[in-house]
A and B are shown apart, each in its own frame.
Chain A
Amino acid sequence: MSPAGSVRHWPVMLSLLAAMSLEVAPLPADLAAWRPPWLALVTIYWVLAYPRRYGLALAWITGLVLDVLKGGVLGQHALAMTVAVWITLHFHLRVRVFPPWQQAMAVTGMVLVHQFLVFWVDGVAGDAVLGWQRLTPIAAAAIAWPLLTAVLDRLRFQLRMQA
Chain B
Amino acid sequence: MSRLNPSDNKPLFDRGPSLGTRAVLLAVLSVALMFLDHREGHMDSVRRALAVAVYPIRVLVDMPSAAFLWTRESLADRATLLEENEALRAESLRQRVHLQQMVALEAENARLRALMDSPAKLADRVQVAEILAVDLDPYRHRIAINRGEYAGVYAGQALVDAEGIVGQVIRVDPLGAEAILISDPSHATPVELIRNGLRTVALGVGDVSRVELPFLPNSADVRVGDLLVSSGLGDAFPHGYPVARVTRVERRPGESFARIEAEPTAALNRSRQVLLLWEGGEAEPVEVPADRAGTGADARPDATEATDASPAGDPR
Q: Are B7 and A60 in contact (CB under 8 A)?
A: no
Indicate if A155 sits at the interface (CB-CB under 8 A). no
Indicate if A129 sits at the interface (CB-CB under 8 A). yes
Q: Are B23 and A52 in contact (CB under 8 A)?
A: no
Which residues of the partner chain B approach A63 to less than 8 Å between Cβ atoms?
30
Indicate if B65 sits at the interface (CB-CB under 8 A). yes
Partner of B7, one of A29, A35, A121, A163: A163
Partner of B61, one of A24, A32, A129: A24
Interface pick from B86-94, B136-144, B224-232: B136-144
Q: Are A60 and B30 in contact (CB under 8 A)?
A: yes
For the complex of A and B, the 10 pairs showing the least CB-CB separation, nearest first, are A75-B33, A79-B30, A86-B23, A74-B37, A75-B34, A162-B7, A75-B30, A68-B50, A129-B139, A78-B30
Q: Are A73 and B144 in contact (CB under 8 A)?
A: no
- 28 A–B contact pairs at CB < 8 A? A5-B6, A5-B7, A24-B61, A26-B61, A26-B65, A26-B135, A27-B135, A35-B138, A52-B5, A53-B8, A56-B19, A69-B57, A69-B58, A71-B137, A74-B33, A74-B46, A75-B31, A75-B34, A78-B26, A79-B34, A82-B27, A86-B20, A86-B23, A121-B34, A125-B34, A126-B186, A127-B139, A129-B185
Which residues of the partner chain A approach B51 to less than 8 Å between Cβ atoms?
68
Indicate if B171 sits at the interface (CB-CB under 8 A). yes
Indicate if B99 sits at the interface (CB-CB under 8 A). no
A128 to B20, CA, bound (A): 29
What is the interface residue range for chain B against chain A? 35 or more
- Given A65-B54, A75-B30, A75-B31, CB of A21 within 8 Å of CB of B61: yes
Indicate if A148 sits at the interface (CB-CB under 8 A). no
Indicate if B279 sits at the interface (CB-CB under 8 A). no
- Given A50-B7, A69-B58, A71-B144, CB of A56 within 8 Å of CB of B34: no
Indicate if A89 sits at the interface (CB-CB under 8 A). yes
